[in-house]
Structure 1
Amino acid sequence: MRRLFGAGVAIATLLVAAAGTPAAASSSHRDGYVKVGYFTQWGIYGRAFPVKKLDTSGAASRLTHVNYAFGNVSPDGRCYVDGGPGEGDSWADYQRPVPAEESVDGVADTWGEPLNGNFGQLQKLKAKHPDLKVLISLGGWSWSTYFSNAALTDASRKAFVSSCIDLYLKGNLPNPDGGSGGPGALAGVFDGIDLDWEWPGSDGEPGNVVRPEDKQNFTLLVAEFRRQLDAFGRSSRKHYQLTAFLPAAPATIDAGFEVRKIFKYLDFGTLQGYDFHGTWEARANQQSALRVPAGAPDNPDFSVENTVNAWLLRGAPRGKLVVGIPYYGRGWTGVTGGTNGLFGTSTGPAPATFEAGYEDYKKLKTLPANGFTVHRDLRAGHAWLFDGTTFWTYDDPIVVAQKSLYIRAKGLGGAMVWSLDGDDDQATLTKTISHTLGR
């Protein structure tokens, strides 16, 4: 890994220098770069990724923030713990007794402790890494259904924010069946709230409630979060952070976000730097390129640079823009034509471990030993794998280093990753970000 990391930094440094980056840009960030990783509730199962791996891999010491995915929003606009089959998993969140071999401190949970499960392990992780901030991320693709209801009126916004603070910051968890939870059980674990409404004013998952007034109501919602978080923090003399996940598409930005206004209340915003293309399209394409590749068939097209510029053009402060980086790839099979598969036509999604067309980096990194060739566009900042039939677009350490140097060169706020369970057991990608951005 060390040799590959060094090569990635050297190549990316030359590319950034060649681009003529302003000398003052890299020194414009005042407080250091944020390095945010999403930890998925469900990663403890098939991906066998407990909170402990954040410690043993070395990831926790390289991150500034862990965002826990996800918290749900009820139809009547409240934060609540959803234990419904197929959706929520309060067992994983805080009820499951974690065995000693999965525990951050090596001590097994017992039934009925105030805090078990992932939340209890995050509590232990923070004790070991006291500078690490942990945020609860609300919504996501599947749980943004009722955000519009929560944001609709002054009364609904006040009630929604109050319920989120009560549940996640005051820590008043439900206590079913005499198990874990209860008043104050979760207090002190979360340091703030991440809003992942996908998307105000625009369609997301089918069935989401969408209203034209979502754009203005999102601003009012973040203002209400900031007001109540500050009021709650005054008693403990603590600043509770407020962040938001923000889209790449200019049309989605314009439909849902009053850009200059919302950043008055946000500590920072994380930008969608992935899913630019995927197997919902027949063409094998890049999903996370730094710049639009030469010969791209779509004009205009998506890229990290275009996303950053879209937010800057609308008035976002560059020091609060955090670039999203994927720890997974998207893949097609039956690919013919294109350049080494890029822009070729496919017959469908590539077979994969958990979801066709979607594979973790830790698996993709093994493919060159199994008949795949790594192809790279250094100018555009993306890489892909191709074996003559199957095509995977992904970020390897060289691409991640190049993006991290771009963040430095442009004076941006840092990097965010989705999601930590996609990295290998050595946290290669997270360490690449940390080494390149600096502590």
Structure 2
Amino acid sequence: MSAPRPPRSGSGPEPFLRPGRRLVVVLTVLALAVAGLTALGTAPARAAGSLTAAFSTSGSGSSWTGKFVVKNNGDAAVDNWSLEFDLPDGVGISGHTHGTAQVQGRHVTVTPAYYNARVPAGRDTEPYSYTFQGSGPMTAPTGCLINGEKCDGSPAVPPRAPTGLKVADTTARTVSLEWTPAVQGDFPVSSYEVLRGDTVVAAGATPRATVRDLTPATSYEFTVRAKDTRGNDGPASAPVTAKTVDPATDTVPPTAPRNLKAGEVTSSTVALTWDPATDDKRVAAYDVYRDGDLVESLPADTLATTVPGLTPATEYAFTVKARDAADNASPASAALKVTTKEAVGDGGHAKVGYFVQWGIYGRQYFVKDLDTSGAAAKLDVVNYAFANIDPKNLTCLNGVTKGTSQDPQDPNQGDGAGDAEADYGRAFSAAQSVDGVADDGWGKLRGNFNQLKKLKAKHPHLKVLVSLGGWTYSKYFSDVAKTDAARQKFVKSCIDMYIKGNLPAYNGAGGDGVAAGIFDGFDLDWEWPGSPDGHPGNHWSPEDKANNTALIAEFRRQLDALGDGHKLLSAFTPADPKKVDAGWDLKEIFKHMDFANVQGYDFHGSGSDNSWEPDRTGHQANLYPDAQSPYENDFSVDGAVQHYLDAGVSPRKLTVGFPFYGRGWQQVAEGGAKGEYQSANGAAPGQFQEEAGTRGYDNLVASLPNLTVHHDEQSVSTYGYTGAGGQWWSFDDTWSIGKKAEYIKSKGLLGAMIWEMSGDTANSSLFNALDRGLP
């Protein structure tokens, strides 16, 4: 028999409605003179970004009005703009018109209203220019930026050249330099670059750097220049000459560092300390190694470091070597083995629950329900499903409202589909809101995203991931993973959209940074790499396995580069060992990934198209193989989990998937087996017309009062039968959930994943059973 139909990332129903642009905000300076009560205007030159902004005032005394007129000096319309400025001391503002403003201390960031965001070529925002009510001295703002460029249109003044460049230290292969910080121009200094000729040989944010990999006993000339936050380079400093040490002058290595210890250990970092080494001349540096690979070189006066970029629930071996000025390396210290903490679960058991974007429609399940049901207080992670891939640009897609077709065999079913309305466009009422406050219909952030933001504010422990792909949206994963350039482009677009929060414009919502802080990482739901068994029309190739690993590594690299704490990276992975082996390099992916949610359901079923297994019933989520099963491939939770463990995956990297829904058949023969593995005539009527064969657990037990529930003790599976010729359903209930929870604990697994939260009863009977089993 064929392998089980792959789930829609937990198999729930496909969305029947799935509903763009970025803007960039940075800082600069605008100098505007104020003359009493007269209007303060500028005569802006052509700006690099084509937009300028002129400020003026009206009124008198300590209560006055300020206005910024945005003008497009270019030859093409600009579809969006953002304004930033700093308030002078003693000035306050309120009463914002024709735009919304975020005021943080003295810094103000303005986004336009939906009706004045677009500025045609040669036109300005009048008569709908952004205004505010000022209080205090009538003084013009400073630091004005329009879309990141100076508001008066003049070229940016770069930083000045650093001064005082000197050689701080030399070894056989390094030169350490120090200098006096550069004076900034129009923008703050963000970094420095050390040059040898025209080549950048070192860079950093502080006024010191070490140039490495030099040739011993060789003279070099270096200069340094500053770079500002807008990427403008200042002039180079006066040069300095340094000569590296001749190794022939010293052949005695230092002693090995002693007493290497671990301090604070997190899911992604390990703090290390050690006692100093000794040398006949001097110790020049310490080299820190992780599993034999050099990760950091430190100056001799540094006897501690924190190693970042580690993977949760992973054992690492650390050593330290000392090096003298002649580049003689000491023996390694004694190895120190440290296991990082889990990313979620705090050493106990993690609970991950999917929230479906489209649940707000037919299911009438809102983010608020995660809170009122009590689930949010007990969940560790909410996976928001799903984000799509742009079929043309091969980037993360949002800002559209385009539903999927109703034909599950349509190879283009998910192309270009999305639901920005549900994500951040819909204004929820007070009754539907987490905090009881209705959405502002003109706000830049509304919909599910705003409710998730409120949910996190109420439950600070909760992490929220955006799930990319799923059954219907996995078509273009193979394309975005195919090359290094494609991977970098795709990952950057997803981070820009969901981590930095730069949402495309949609119906007055969206904008730069409006969704920042909502999502704590990504859940990758590629169904399935290296396999033709995904949705009809999915792109795939034998190279998917290697490319999948590279894509996961690219997500980890770019997420780590953001700083600001560890971002989570998980994946939904298959139960079928053949699909695992075809698309998932289990020895490599967990070097970059926090955990995997292993498919624990959809082992058997029949869908609305009757293309799966319409002729015979079967268990969809059994814990163990069923001795009575006539299917050639009798999949099970234990079989799936054991395949991962046999490959060396840490059990603390795995959660097991639980279905909060049932799979059903109709016209099922009794056969003396209560319908188990008996003949059938396709999928049973579903909860929704377009979802035959699927019902949420709550709907299942409520709509079929004559359903008799049975428990198979040997395979640990629950099923229900309405009688000969009736319906037969496979699902999880509190009994099977309790049994599976015991299994998770016995195997030392990380925890459980739920597809999906709306399927539970009003009193959360399934989730509470899981929580009792996995406290």
Same fold (TM over 0.5): yes
Does structure 1 retain, via aligned residues, the 8 Å contact 2:502–2:513?
A: yes
User: Could you tell me which of 742, 749, 756 is aligned with 1:405?
Assistant: 742
- For 1:80, the aligned partner's letter is L
- Provide the residue aligned with 2:265 in structure 1: none
Q: CA shift at 1:338, angstroms?
A: 5.4
Are residues 1:140 and 2:470 paired? yes
Are residues 1:111 and 2:111 paired? no
- Provide the residue aligned with 2:673 in structure 1: 339
- Provide the residue aligned with 1:362 in structure 2: 698
Are residues 1:121 and 2:451 paired? yes
- For 2:665, the aligned partner's letter is W
Q: CA shift at 1:110, angstroms?
A: 1.6
Deviations 1:227-260 (A, max 9, x none): 110111x2x2x11000000001111111111111
Q: CA shift at 1:317, angstroms?
A: 1.6
What are the within-5 Å matches in structure 2 for residues 19-58 of structure 1?
Answer: 31-58=347-374
Give the structure-2-normalised TM-score: 0.52
Give the structure-1-normalised TM-score: 0.90
- Provide the residue aligned with 1:382 in structure 2: 717
- For 1:278, the aligned partner's letter is G
**SS class of match (1:48):** coil
Deviations 1:250-277 (A, max 9, x none): 1111111111100111100001100000
Q: CA shift at 1:88, angstroms?
A: 1.1
What are the within-5 Å matches in structure 2 for residues 292-331 of structure 1?
Answer: 292-331=625-664
- Provide the residue aligned with 1:288 in structure 2: 621
Deviations 1:60-110 (A, max 9, x none): 111000000001112232112143233311000001001111000111112
**SS class of match (1:393):** strand
- For 1:344, the aligned partner's letter is Q
The whole-number CA distance in structure 2 between the counterparts of 1:69 and 1:107 is 24
The whole-number CA distance in structure 1 between the counterparts of 2:729 and 2:648 is 35
- Provide the residue aligned with 2:525 in structure 1: 196
Does structure 2 retain, via aligned residues, the 8 Å contact 1:99–1:109?
A: yes
State how many pairs are aligned.
406
Does structure 2 retain, via aligned residues, the 8 Å contact 1:170–1:184?
A: yes
- Provide the residue aligned with 1:8 in structure 2: none
Deviations 1:380-416 (A, max 9, x none): 1111110112101110011111111110110011000
Q: CA shift at 1:436, angstroms?
A: 1.1
- Runs (4 or more) in structure 1 with deviation over 4 Å come to none
Q: CA shift at 1:30, angstroms?
A: 6.6
Deviations 1:261-308 (A, max 9, x none): 001111000011000000121111100000122211124410100110
User: Could you tell me which of 263, 268, 277 is aligned with 2:604?
Assistant: 277
Does structure 1 retain, via aligned residues, the 8 Å contact 2:685–2:692?
A: yes
Q: Structure 1 339/45 Cα, relative in aligned 2: closer, same or farther at 3 Å?
A: same
**SS class of match (1:181):** strand
The whole-number CA distance in structure 1 between the counterparts of 2:632 and 2:539 is 30
- For 2:572, the aligned partner's letter is F
5+ residue gaps, structure 2:
1-341, 405-416, 607-611
Q: CA shift at 1:181, angstroms?
A: 1.0
Are residues 1:353 and 2:669 paired? no
The whole-number CA distance in structure 2 between the counterparts of 1:92 and 1:424 is 23
Does structure 1 retain, via aligned residues, the 8 Å contact 2:420–2:506?
A: no
The whole-number CA distance in structure 2 between the counterparts of 1:295 and 1:55 is 42
Deviations 1:303-322 (A, max 9, x none): 10011011122222211011
- For 1:249, the aligned partner's letter is D
**SS class of match (1:348):** coil
- For 1:385, the aligned partner's letter is G
- For 2:618, the aligned partner's letter is N
Higher relative contact order (CA 8 A, sep 6+): 1
- For 1:183, the aligned partner's letter is D
Structure with larger Rg: 2
**SS class of match (1:221):** helix
- For 1:77, the aligned partner's letter is L
RMSD (Å), alpha carbons? 1.4
Q: CA shift at 1:31, angstroms?
A: 2.1
Identity of aligned residues (%): 51
- Provide the residue aligned with 1:22 in structure 2: none
Q: CA shift at 1:346, angstroms?
A: 0.4
5+ residue gaps, structure 1:
1-27
- For 2:361, the aligned partner's letter is Y
User: Could you tell me which of 395, 398, 406 is aligned with 1:78?
Assistant: 395
Deviations 1:7-31 (A, max 9, x none): xxxxxxxxxxxxxxxxxxxxx9972
- For 1:392, the aligned partner's letter is W
- Compare the two structures and name the one with the higher helix fraction: 1
- Provide the residue aligned with 2:547 in structure 1: 217
